[in-house]
């Protein structure tokens, strides 16, 4: 089998239905399977998938496993040569999966492939970033996203019309080679959600594999729909905890201690934002 598509879903039944319909209606000349891990949505997702898409391998988790752990559950069930982690709030617009598989097969050192994500109006969604530095972390904690220094982190000058090797790609479309998985293993489950794909890109590059963006794979990404349903201080804490885990694992002890000390400020800024919303 060429490809296993793993979709982790939480309370986005309608978008997931649209995503699955686009996969099965548009994908041609590719031997693939779809595995859906439902993270205890309780919104009829399981019944919808079972009733409308019987060809999907459905896993109904009775608890919310978090993103990384749910992905790994799918990885252990996957039979494909390569693995695509695909967000449920995406929609294919052509036979891009076939092209993605072809690109992956062209280079044995290609570990992760990201595609051209589009907003609902088909404008380009910024989906390529550099690895964050200490200054990047600090500026984001203080909500100074507009400062020029963050242009490097957000890859503001990146040319989305050309294929290029990059630091990291957004996890909404995250195609992983089987060779990479054999080399570095599964996603780190200590990330409940957020930063797991940044961590995986960093580990891939450290192991000598490439992370590549290509404009030849195009799909719509509606963006963060599960998160928008639960925008609260608890989730901000989960984000901060994942950031701390990433910093401890990949950056200096000084950076970790500084970000740890600044984390309460980050939560306070977020609390103020929620009160003013």
**Encoding tokens for residue 233?**
């201080």
What is the distance of C-alpha 159 from the center of its chain?
21
Residues counted in the chain? 277
**Encoding tokens for residue 56?**
């999907």
Q: Identify any residues that bridge with 165 across adjacent strands, giving them in sequence order.
A: 212
The pLDDT value given to residue 112: 99
Q: Which residue has the tokens 């972390």?
A: 137
pTM, whole model, 2 decimals?
A: 0.94
The answer to whether 196 and 204 have CB atoms below 8 angstroms apart is: no
The pLDDT value given to residue 273: 57
The pLDDT value given to residue 277: 45
The answer to whether 222 and 90 have CB atoms below 8 angstroms apart is: yes
- The residues of the chain that CATH labels 3.90.550.10 are 3-124+160-224
Architecture of domain 3-124+160-224: Alpha-Beta Complex (3.90)
Q: Identify any residues that bridge with 116 across adjacent strands, giving them in sequence order.
A: 218
Within 10 Å of residue 145's Cβ, how many Cβ atoms? 10
pLDDT one digit per residue (tens) for the chain, 277 residues: 999 999 999 999 999 999 999 999 999 999 999 999 999 999 999 999 999 999 999 999 999 999 999 999 999 999 999 999 999 999 999 999 999 999 999 999 999 999 999 999 999 999 999 999 999 999 988 888 777 778 889 998 999 999 999 999 999 999 999 999 999 999 999 999 999 999 999 999 999 999 999 999 999 999 855 455 445 778 889 999 999 999 999 999 999 999 999 999 888 877 655 444 4
Q: Distance (Å, rounded) from C-alpha 253 to C-alpha 148?
A: 26
Q: Distance (Å, rounded) from C-alpha 140 to C-alpha 134?
A: 10
């Amino acid at each position: 089998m060429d490809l296993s598509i793993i979709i982790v879903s939480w309370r986005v039944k309608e978008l997931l239905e649209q995503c699955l319909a686009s996969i099965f209606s548009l994908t041609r000349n590719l031997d693939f399977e779809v595995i859906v891990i439902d993270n205890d949505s309780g919104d009829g997702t399981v019944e919808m998938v079972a009733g409308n898409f019987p060809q999907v391998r459905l896993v109904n988790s009775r608890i919310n496993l978090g993103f990384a752990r749910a992905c790994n559950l799918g990885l252990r069930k996957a039979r494909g040569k390569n693995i695509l982690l695909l967000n449920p709030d995406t929609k294919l617009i052509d036979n891009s999966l076939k092209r993605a598989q072809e690109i992956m097969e062209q280079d044995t050192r290609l570990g992760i492939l990201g595609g051209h994500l589009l907003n609902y109006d088909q404008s380009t969604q910024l989906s390529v970033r550099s690895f964050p530095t200490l200054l990047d972390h600090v500026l984001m904690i203080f909500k100074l996203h507009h400062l020029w220094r963050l242009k490097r982190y957000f890859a503001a000058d990146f040319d989305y019309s050309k294929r290029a090797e990059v630091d990291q790609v957004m996890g909404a479309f995250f195609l992983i080679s089987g060779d990479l998985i054999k080399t570095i293993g599964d996603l780190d489950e200590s990330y409940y959600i957020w930063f797991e794909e940044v961590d995986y890109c960093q580990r891939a590059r450290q192991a000598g594999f490439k992370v590549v963006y290509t404009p030849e794979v195009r799909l719509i990404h509606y963006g963060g729909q599960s998160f928008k349903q639960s925008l609260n201080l608890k989730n901000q804490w989960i984000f901060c905890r994942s950031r701390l885990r990433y910093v401890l694992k990949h950056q200096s002890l000084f950076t970790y201690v500084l970000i740890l000390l600044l984390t309460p400020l980050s939560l306070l800024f977020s609390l103020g934002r929620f009160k003013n919303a």
